[in-house]
Copies of this chain bind each other. A is one copy, B any other.
Amino acid sequence: MSKTSLDLGPLPELTGYVLRRAQLVVFQDFFQAFAPFNISPAQFSVLTVIERNPGLTQSQVAAALGIKRTNFVGLLDELERRALAERRQAARDKRSYALYLTAEGAALMRKLKPVLKAHESRMVARIGEAGRDRLIELLREIVGGPSSNGAAVRAAKAPRPPRPGSVAT
């Protein structure tokens, strides 16, 4: 074939397609940076939420991160197997578990702080501080939906509380 580039039709103008390509590039950098610690983006986000909000239930953490319950159980099993996080029986409801970091998990999170900072700096290097801020703003508006505007940004910063009845406490 003599072609040097392909016709991608509508794809390069499609929000979802370009989002996905960019997300894979950013995650690729994350994977490489965190490989020495064997920590994926999903694992990092779960450890972060547990670190910041000790004692939450599995359902609450999963809901806050938009992770499906079934995927979340596997994620947490792995973190528990590696002794980074632990489930403890919740005081109020014997059927649900409260999540905590172990001392090892807390130590790992401290070690990961500069790794995360360096990773994000590489992303900022690509589009500048102002570009990054605008990007995050636009992405939050997409997450928040068309009718919410200001509320959308707040919702992305601090996700809505679990719907009553849907989350064990």
Is A159's CB under 8 angstroms from B22's CB? no
Q: How far does the alpha carbon of A26 sit from the alpha carbon of B1 in the complex, in Å? A: 35
- Which residues in B have their C-beta under 8 angstroms from that of A120? 14-15
- Is A16 interfacial (CB-CB < 8 Å)? yes
From 51 to 70 in chain A, residues with beta carbon under 8 angstroms from any chain B beta carbon are 51-53, 55-56, 60, 64, 66
Given A60-B6, A156-B12, also A138-B127 (CB < 8 A): yes
Judging by beta carbons under 8 Å apart, are A52 and B125 in contact? Answer: no
CA distance A22 to B155 in the complex (A): 13
CB A165 to nearest CB in B, in angstroms, measures 14
Residues of B within 8 A of A142 (CB): 22, 25-26, 123, 126-127, 135
